[in-house]
Amino acid sequence: MKLYCALCGRATRNPAVLIGQEPVGPKCARKANLLPLSRRSGSRVRSLLPVKIERRDSRNLDLFEVEP
């Protein structure tokens, strides 16, 4: 399935955000300042970029990690 950027109409392989159902490429998302918007709660702009999970802060051991 080909995705087309909602802002510039160019095909985008890795959309950075979705506005409703419309994908927006990473460059346009940055230019239009959509990334901060996507972090707001209740926003229709959803970020598709992977969310960084701070694993070292968690008390769980990594999978296959041996307890010292």
Question: Should residue 7 be labelled a site residue for Zn ion when binding is judged by CB under 5 A?
Answer: yes
5 touches Zn ion by CB under 5 A: yes
DSSP secondary structure string for all residues of the chain:
---B-TTT--B-SS-SEEETTEEE-HHHHHHTTHHHHHTSTT-SEEE-SPPP--STTSSSPPTTPPP-
Closest approach of Zn ion to the CB of residue 42, in Å:
24
Q: Which is nearer to Zn ion, 5 or 19 (CB)?
A: 5
Give me the least distance between CB of 40 and Zn ion, in Å please. Answer: 21
List contacts with Zn ion (CB under 5 A): 5, 7-8, 25, 28
